[in-house]
Structure formats: structure tokens, C-alpha cells
Amino acid sequence: MEKNDIQNTVKEIIRISGVNPKKCIKCGKCSGTCPAYDEMEYHPHQFVSMVDMGDIEPLLESPSIFKCLSCMACVDRCPRGVEPAKLIEAIRSVKQRMQGSNHMKPDDIPALLDEELPQQAIVSALRKYMK
């Protein structure tokens, strides 16, 4: 991506999310409470920092944007109200718009279901992948 495209994409991510990444004090509480921490290449505090620095290309290519559970635990733990999950969802939306398609189709989900999977996870998956 060219520098101007990167700047425009960062502005779009911030606009979609409504999050001000400059408020982050980099305490790591958001990442410490993330239930998907071990599965993610980049963690919630890193998403916020990388967006703030304009380093979004690695985020757009990372599978971590699809591993976020959208549980909002990071939002609850942030002492500054930064809302990392909203940033991650905005990055996911931008990536899907760039691809011109969804990461997963609703018809793909039933094959991945486990009998003990909570209904909330199914609803979250549909919401996450249908933007």
C-alpha cells in the first residue's frame, strides 16, 4: 500500500470503530483478559498501538482479525475506554471490503459446530463474518 492509502485506511478504521487509539496508555490489561490471547498473532493492545502508529498492513494480513471472539472483555478491562475489540472489528470490516467478500459464508458454519458450543458463539460468528 502507498503511504496515502495507508493514512486513508487508518482514518477509515478509526471512523468505523469510533475509537481514539491515542487514549491507550499501553498497560496491557486488555490483552491480559483476552480469552483468545494464545490464538492471536497480534493481541488487543498491539492492534491499538499499530493502528495508532499507522502500521496496519500486517494487521490486515493477520488471521488474528478473524480469531477475535468479539466478547468485549478487553473493552471492559480498559481503564481509558479505548475499546480494542471495536478497532479489531473495524479492521476486519475494512479487510472484507478490500477482498470484496466475506471471510466465511453462513453455510460454512454448521460443519464447524460442536455439540457443546455455546449459542452465543454461533451468533457471534454469524455477526462477525456477515459484515
**CA–CA separation, 96 vs 89, rounded Å?**
11
pLDDT given for residue 83 in this prediction: 94
pLDDT given for residue 57 in this prediction: 95
Amino acid identity for residue 69 in this structure? L
**Cα dihedral: 76, 79, 81, 82 (round 10):** -100
The DSSP secondary-structure symbol of 52 reads: H
pLDDT given for residue 116 in this prediction: 80
Q: What is the pLDDT of residues 100-119, one digit of tens each?
A: 655 566 777 778 777 787 77
CB 66 within 8 A of CB 103: yes
**Residues in the chain, pLDDT under 70:** 100-105, 128-131
pLDDT given for residue 73 in this prediction: 94
**Cα dihedral: 73, 33, 45, 82 (round 10):** 40
